[in-house]
Amino acid sequence: MARVVVDVMLKPEILDPQGKAVHGALPRLGVEGVVDVRQGKRFELEVEGELTEQRLAQLHDIAERLLSNPVIEDFEVHVA
């Protein structure tokens, strides 16, 4: 078994109201000095058998077509 991790983040130019809300909560918890918070998504894909180049390419395609929306998000694929 292999684990492939896909991280998806809103593009820098897209405002992130969720991150902003989290950021706004920090001072109330006494945390100072955090200048920005961006919230993203992490997908963990458990893959059977050997992780071939072909398999990885397929998962990369899924990350691009399904797990992220290229209009508003960037993604990264890691083998954990």
Partner 1 sequence: MSGLRVGVVTFPGSLDDVDARRAVTLAGHRAVPLWHRDHDLQGVDAVVLPGGFSYGDYLRCGAISRFSPLMSEVVAGAGDGLPVLGICNGFQVLCESHLLPGALVRNQAQRFVCRDQRLRIEGTGTPWTQSFTPGQEIVVPLKNGEGCYVADEATLDELEAEGRVVARYLGPDPNGSMRGIAGVSNARGNVVGLMPHPEHAVEDGFGPGLDGLGFFTLVEALASSAYRV
Residues in touch with partner 1 (CB under 8 A): 10, 13-15, 17-18, 20-21, 66-67, 69, 71-72
Smallest distance from the beta carbon of 71 to partner 1, in angstroms? 4
| Token pair for 66 | 């399904």
Query: Do residues 13 and 74 lie in contact, with contact meaning Cβ atoms separated by under 8 Å?
Result: no
Per DSSP, what are the bridge partners of residue 55?
none
Give least dist CB 53 to partner 1, A: 25
DSSP 8-state assignment for residue 29: G
- Residue closer to partner 1, measured from CB, 17 or 33: 17
